[in-house]
A and B are shown apart, each in its own frame.
Chain A
Amino acid sequence: MCGIIGYAGGQADRNVVEVLSSGLSKLEYRGYDSAGIAVAPEVSVYKRKGELEALEETLPDGTVDALAGIGHTRWSTHGPPSDENAHPHTDCEGRVAVVHNGIVENYRELREELEAAGHVFDSETDTEVIPHLIETALEQGADEDAAFRQAIERLEGSYAVAAVFHGREEVYATRDQSPLVLGIDDGCALLASDVPAFLEYTDQVVYLEDGQFATIRPSGIEVRDERGALVDVSVETVDWDPEDAGKSGYDHYMLKEIYEQPRSIRECLRGRLRPLEGSIAIEELDGLARPTDVQFVACGTSYHASLYAARLFRERGVRATAFLASEYDVERLPLDDRTLVVGVTQSGETADTLRALRTASGVGAQTLAVTNVVGSSAAREADHAMYIRAGPEIGVAATKTFTSQQVALATLSSALTDDCSRQFVEALRELPDGIQSVLDTSNARAVAEEYVGADAYFFIGRGYEAPVALEGALKMKEITYEHAEGFAAGELKHGPLALVSEATPVIALVNGRKNTDRMLGNVTEVEARGAPIVAVTDDPDAVAGHADHVLRVPETHWRFYPILANVQLQLLAYWVANRLGRSIDRPRNLAKSVTVE
């Protein structure tokens, strides 16, 4: 998924670059692994891998002398993000710049043909054939409009395309099966993949139809059909709240992303399970030797997923430890070439994790990046990369990506140890429905109502549940700004119990199939101090008489219970934060990916 913006009308009181940057920021939900802009009539291109901030740093200070421009934000699922692969793309001479959303299916043939004719390509993208096709047509004497059309006629696939030309003050655009909408304002015109991109400038829009061509210029827009005949377009007024778009009707991205989890788990597992054989195969790791030691390096939520994963590996007889990435490189580490160092990072750009991976690589360890972003720094720098396939996550508090990390690492633990069973594979296949079941039946909202305003929230769990207790507390801290702590349940009596009172609800992860009695023993300890108990469990009978409230999860393989229980903790944190009116998607002081050490 990608986003496009275009603008013509620089002589008004707006700076072209500002309009484009602002538009791209509104399109970031469509992806954010690289971004770029191009301006005209002096065609200049600025583009950069990474989030919009990276692009903004490359932009020249002060105003750029431009009258029109195009911009693009990209979320790659195939091929790595890089400065070269970022849009806009240009022809050999840099006289035309193009942004594109969609897929040019016949780009290989076109590229071969163009290369044979002497064109030189800078990127690996399908898009770059478009400016070169335009260049060819211009060389043959076509004017800009005709050259643009002739190039588009050669394309097969889906596209929304916008182009600027040297010496021209307008933007040319067309679409087929990819979205493109035009906006009209006094003295300027805009285009974008989606209305919110330019909603702060105008609410007067024209929806371009498949096969139509548009030229936008300061004086307005011109739309023509495939044969070049002028189309009488209808201008519509939209009344959207720009903030709402992309949230699919949810109040917050976080809640949307929580509800997306059944689907993101399906994506994570797709093609990796062999249900009839009861085995797991991760295609991208075919060349990875079986390690004798595994060291995970990660930060924040990813560290919690790593703690969970390390336990899965240890249980299969592999020495495995999770390290906080920021603490990793200060130690003298016992590792050799049979040690696998796994960097777990959603963005693939977490500075601490990248540094830890580099340190490990420097002393001869094999490295593996487990990440959500194709072609991210971690994925490129590590010897191997495994993708969790959760799709873009906008909410700063990680939800679906944590779940996908847990699931991906569970498959990894099995694939790298050749320790698998039909039951394990079947249990993985049951997870999407298990999470859906939690979402369908959760009473977390009502429980949250009960405990809004508590002095503190404590989360306890044992074994596989301990990391999820930490994660539940982190989620609560991040978005509610309330005090929350997670503990391995057995640690309570070694100190934290002193904090427990009637005003500190204890959220206990009670796995009905493992450690149940020992866990209930810990629950009794806090009960005795008068703390209210919220039990998250697959066995309501076991907690009857102990719990003030129960958050139920369906029965599952006992190692996967914490994956389901975590969804209840996400919802609990969300509803407490919602009740407190917090800025849930953008908590104070926090950023989505932490690219500084």
Chain B
Amino acid sequence: MSIDSAIVLAAGEGIRLRPLTQNRPKPMLPAATKPILEHVFDQLVDAGVSELVVVVGYRRERVQSYFGSTYRNVPISYVVQEKQLGTGHALLAAESEVTGTCLAINGDQIVDSRIIGDVVRAHDSSAAATVAYLHRPNVQSYGGVLVEDGLVTDIVENPQDGRDYRLNAGVYALEPAAFDGVRAADSRNGEHLLVDGLSTLVETGEIVRGVASEGLWTDATYPWDLLEVSAELFEAGFVNGDPEIGGREATVHDDAVVRGPVVIDRDCAIGPGAVVGPGVCLGENVTVGANAVVERSVVDADTTIGANATVVECVTGTGVAIGPGSTIPGGPGDVRVGDTVYEDEALGALLADRVLDRGGIDYVPGALVGPETDIQTGTTVRGTLAGGTEVRS
């Protein structure tokens, strides 16, 4: 069958992506140079969806002002989930915007249109819902499904019980009955989850179909995962990393070196002697100063990298200033988030929106700097710095 409407869940902040989510929800974080959500929309439109219903909540104006009323000529309607009480609650907020069969998809994970197409093809109205699953290791960090003879027998978040779970791709075809299942499910710890609704359907004897699929599926759990997500997009050809193409609407000095895969968005300026790439994504209006070196980094819009700076395995928010001569030497480094230490992560530094590095600063690999932190010249940054502070050596 064909399914015209898709409900896209884009209301949640993505708490584990802090401090990058201070000013925008996770779906608006950059994957290469575009928001994750834009990749999601692309795959939905490629799969034939002709109506997008987007559930927004946390910092929703960022989503609305970026996409407006249509995307690639597909109309977008916005539904506001005032409080983020879980994916099931978000889905129900959008129920009145769709009629008949619809798709539901997470707005913060990039899923190949082939996976969406597989769900659409496998679904018919004899099933209350159809779920795509993938054969992947490490399912315990994501959602898991157990499938027997094409039917889902169990569906859970973060499965820990050692059974043979497949990865839940987060792409669902839903009949109106599925909404009833979600409504009937109990909430847990104040969260009303979509998968609990599907479990309820399974428990009450409704058919929930599972369809095996394959294709790109990528999700950033932690901020530094944005590097890996962008690398996967290059590899899968979702983003063209040809240096001849990157930078066409940017100003690149003749004496700069641009090495692919690389993507350079509009209005960027790259100074003489700078070396950009490989594995670099420069968002709109980024400046790379003379003789700066940037490798394997996701640099978001309006960021400036000063002359002679070295930036390796770095993730930035928007409007960050990396001063002249600062050094982000690349991972591996230990990253501390709350009470947990993630060892040997491939992260040079993570600088949230509008960090102001005044130059000559050394970053110990794995450094996390909160938004609008003002770092005085000559400082060595290690560990985690809270946002909005002033830091001296």
Contacts and interface: CB of A to CB of B under 8 A. Distances in A.
Nearest to A441: B23
B37 to A, nearest CB: 14
Contacts of A245: 69
B251 A237 contact: no
Given A433-B318, A436-B319, A248 B69 contact: yes
Interface string B42-74: 000000001100001000110011011110110
B333 to A, nearest CB: 28
B65 A236 contact: no
B354 interface: yes
Given A195-B75, A266-B267, A275-B287, A207 B4 contact: yes
A194 B75 contact: yes
A373 B60 CA distance: 30
A237 B56 CA distance: 23
A248 B50 contact: no
Contacts, number: 91
Nearest to A255: B61
Contacts of B67: 248
Interface residues of B, number: 42
B67 to A, nearest CB: 7
Q: Which range contains the number of A residues in contact with the other chain?
A: 35 or more
A89 B58 CA distance: 47
A276 B69 contact: no
Interface string A232-275: 00101101100001111110000010011001001001100011
A209 interface: yes
Contacts of A269: 267
B80 interface: yes
Interface in B298-342: 301-302, 304, 318-319
Contacts of A240: 77
Contacts of A441: 23
A433 B269 contact: no
Kindly name the residue among B75, B77, B271 whose own CB sees the greatest number of chain A CB atoms within 10 A: B75
A554 B354 contact: yes
Contacts of A179: 70, 73, 75
A430 interface: yes
Interface in A427-468: 429-430, 432-434, 436-437, 439-441
A570 to B, nearest CB: 14
Given A248-B65, A274-B251, A437 B70 contact: no
Say whether chain A's binding surface is mostly helix, strand, loop, or mixed: mixed
B259 interface: no
Given A207-B51, A248-B65, A270 B266 contact: yes
A256 B69 CA distance: 11
B299 to A, nearest CB: 13
B179 to A, nearest CB: 16
B189 interface: no
B251 A276 contact: yes
A266 B284 contact: yes
B23 A432 contact: no
B354 A256 contact: no
A437 B352 CA distance: 13
B302 A256 contact: no
Contacts of A260: 65
A246 B69 contact: yes
B393 interface: no
A259 B64 contact: yes
A247 B78 CA distance: 10
Contacts of B65: 248, 256, 259-260, 263
Contacts of B253: 276
B96 interface: yes
Interface string A34-68: 00000000000000000000000000000000000
Nearest to A250: B64
B257 interface: no
Interface in A404-435: 426, 429-430, 432-434
Interface string B351-376: 00110000000000000000000000
5 contacts: A259-B61, A276-B271, A276-B272, A430-B319, A437-B354
Interface of A: 177-179, 194-195, 207, 209, 234, 236-237, 239-240, 245-250, 256, 259-260, 263, 266, 269-270, 274-276, 426, 429-430, 432-434, 436-437, 439-441, 554
Interface of B: 4, 22-23, 50-51, 56, 60-61, 64-65, 67-70, 72-73, 75-78, 80, 96-97, 99-100, 251, 253, 266-267, 269, 271-272, 284-285, 287, 301-302, 304, 318-319, 353-354
Given A436-B302, A436-B319, 5 more contacts: A240-B77, A248-B68, A249-B64, A429-B302, A554-B354
Q: Kindly list the 7 A-B residue pairs having the minimum CB-CB distance in the complex, ordered from nearest.
A: A249-B78, A433-B302, A433-B319, A275-B269, A259-B65, A440-B23, A249-B64
